[in-house]
Amino acid sequence: MAQTADPSRAIGTVHLVGAGPGDPDLLTLRAARLITQAQLIVHDGLVDPAILAMAPANARFVSVAKSRARHTMAQDDINTLLVREALAGNDVVRLKGGDPFVFGRGGEEAEACAAAGVPVSVVPGISAAMGAAAAAGIALTHRDAASIVSFVAGQCKGLTEQDWAGLAGKGRTLVIYMGVATAAAITDKLIADGLSPDIPVAVVENATRHDMRVLRGVLAGLDNLVTTHRVKSPALIIIGDVAARQNAASLARLAETVR
């Protein structure tokens, strides 16, 4: 039976909060305020522990961490949890890596709350793509290299169901989320679509964190790059001419660049 609001009872608010790419200094002021005042935090596995440590000592934490082929809690159950807690009168900080509405399933959770009469606020975060590119000194757009940027997921609903035609190539930048495990299939897919095997790529692992790495190469060697250096999530793949450019004033002071 669907959960619905009781007009006679106070209802909490679900705050969909973007935790950014990892570095606590990149939180928005509003996100930091909500975290430091939170009594209940429902968080993803990619949220940095230093961010969780900002919460009050008496805050409740519920981890709903997801990894490839293994979820702590199914998405429908997460939706139910958020609604149930709010209907019980609790404000919920739903803390997500990056931005809630960029591959964060924030739209699904907002819809579930709205259907149950639960108020929702959305606090944008620096997306993983924006944070990773900035930390690596890669300008996703550049007058000499790219005027179009596309974001895609490397494993959502299977690569065969995704149409990437025209998303990468001259004057374009393609950013792939969740693509580490499918790097070989991504390479085959893009080359089959006509993309040059020599187009530059960059893999940014643990963006903005102390153990961040930036690995550079070309599309044909993407799978080997990921495998040889044992890249693990969280990591993003940036494909396009911008991936070969390097900003001397980069914030990537801790990055390891491998050519």
Establish whether 44 is a catalytic residue.
Answer: yes
Rg (CA), the chain: 20
- Beta strand 70-71 with 66-67 is antiparallel
Q: Which of 6, 23, 44, 198 is catalytic?
A: 44
Q: Which of 6, 25, 66, 170 is catalytic?
A: 66
Tokens 């390479």: give the residue.
187
Establish whether 66 is a catalytic residue.
Answer: yes
Active site residues: 44, 66
